[in-house]
Chain A
């Protein structure tokens, strides 16, 4: 028993008071409610009802606007997250690193760039420097006339040798 239409007031009162008293209570309630029926409250004006309906329409409009704005913010946030995740993935897991490596390799010898053995690299550099210096000394001595009469061809040979050394070094 939930709705008022199914309500039996007398039975309800009889749960708490005797049948006679219950009947009297029901009668009191009926008469009391009759007073309220005989003195009806004023009705809301038509203007008020129209005003309420238009207020509801405005509220619904705002609600829809907010829902659309919320959806747009959500889509933008998801797009931003996807973009960031993609960028991070490419940076750490993608092939971007190889592209960078090729770029550097065109400027610096790959053998040196990739090498982690600084001590070994230093030794090679020292040997190369010594070779270059030796050849330079030889060129200087030839120019000073320290090689008999065949100076010019010897200089040319040394210069070729020097270029080869340099070229070998930069090739790795």
Chain B
């Protein structure tokens, strides 16, 4: 984990348009953010796109970061980007619904082969509801405390703790 003072300097450099500072931010966060996107989408190609989108957006939006937990801020941007992706995906899904029915049998086969390629954890995460999956991955890939996560999700900390406990317990059961 980067010292908060040096991180503050790097962020200040980013605000000044220093490419080297942005490069450092990429080095610090890319791996964890990629893991976050991957565990949410289960698709490496989508994760590639979302990660690129996030960092390009970071260049535009860095001025709107007004202090506080940068970790919390960058993961909020990541969550918003993922939600936008989900909305787009749902639109595409609706458009393809009719065609999907026709190709149902073929798709089931393809789905099975795709699932076989994914790791076991990813399969079980896909079986969970989106909200719990998001909470588990956010907690794991960010360095955020439950208090920060609860604030980000705009829900009471007791709710966050209960959802997390239930979710991880369920995941463990599914994995056993």
Contacts and interface: CB of A to CB of B under 8 A. Distances in A.
Interface residues of B, number: 47
B171 A35 contact: yes
B12 interface: no
Contacts of A51: 52
Contact of B145 (A6, A28, A31, A60): A6
B44 A42 contact: yes
B28 to A, nearest CB: 12
Given A28-B169, A43-B31, A48 B51 contact: yes
A39 interface: yes
Contacts of B148: 2-3
A60 B161 contact: no
B161 A25 contact: yes
Residues of B contacting A: mostly: helix
B164 interface: yes
Interface of A: 1-4, 6-7, 9, 12-13, 15-16, 25, 28-29, 31-33, 35-36, 39-45, 48-49, 51-53, 55-57, 59-60, 63-64
A1 B147 contact: yes
A12 B165 CA distance: 12
A16 B39 CA distance: 29
A56 B168 contact: no
Given A52-B30, A56-B26, A29 B52 contact: no
Contacts of B146: 7, 9, 12
